[in-house]
Amino acid sequence: MNKVISRNGWAFTVEIDGEDLVVNGTTGTWFGGGNDSGDDGETSSGVMNDGRDPNLLGCALPVEWFSHSTYDSPFIPTPHAQRRIPSIPWHTPVVVTHGTAQITVALIDNGPAKSVRRGIDLTAPAFRALGGNLESGVMMVSYRIPGAAGYLS
């Protein structure tokens, strides 16, 4: 049986499947890209998500234990490592699926916050590549982070 990690108040659980981390059936939204008035395009990884790269395939996952908005996420090991780095390294590949569409994106930012009850934020090009409509802004997705289970042990 695979281990499942859930934390109070988070809207998704993380399954450890061999060496991979898997999240099934969670809400995905989009962020940045010049279309998001609440986002200046600067990400925690240093990748600019401000619309300059119209093909930027990236995502945000709650991986920073020291950020109040993502503290105690299922992606953060317990006890927390006392260092100011994310629990999963920036630029780690994440395979995202919506229906029959599947793309691989890079982890480039921290979020979404616990308070918004989502499991992943995607760059606008990634959201569209999966068949999402920016106007509706939300879709159900699943994702897998190959080889990332070791980061939670």
What confidence score (pLDDT) does residue 86 get? 86
Which pLDDT score, from 0 to 100, does residue 20 have? 97
Q: Is residue 146 reached through a cis peptide bond, with omega within 30 degrees of 0 on the bond before it?
A: no
Whole-number pLDDT of residue 120: 98
66 CB-near residues (< 8 Å, 6+ apart): 80, 84
pLDDT of residue 40: 82
Question: Residue 125: helix, strand or coil by DSSP?
Answer: helix
- pTM tops 0.85: yes
Residue with more model confidence, 85 or 93: 93
CB burial of residue 48 (10 Å; 0-12, 13-18, 19+):
middle
Q: Is the pLDDT of residue 1 over 80?
A: no
Say what the alpha-carbon torsion angle 58, 64, 70, 71 is, to the nearest 10 degrees.
160
Task: Please tell me the distance from the alpha carbon of residue 30 to that of residue 129, in angstroms, as a whole number.
Answer: 12
Give residue limits of the domains in the chain: 3-152
Percent of the chain with pLDDT over 90: 78
**Per-residue pLDDT averaged across 51-74, rounded?**
93
- Say which CATH superfamily domain 3-152 falls into: RlpA-like domain (2.40.40.10)
- Interval 105-122 mean pLDDT: 96
Contact (CB, 8 A) for 145 and 12:
no
Residue pointed to by tokens 């990332």: 148
Q: Is the pLDDT of residue 83 over 70?
A: no
CA separation for the pair 139, 152 (Å, rounded):
27
pLDDT at 37 over 80: no
Asked whether the predicted pLDDT for residue 146 surpasses 90, the reply is yes
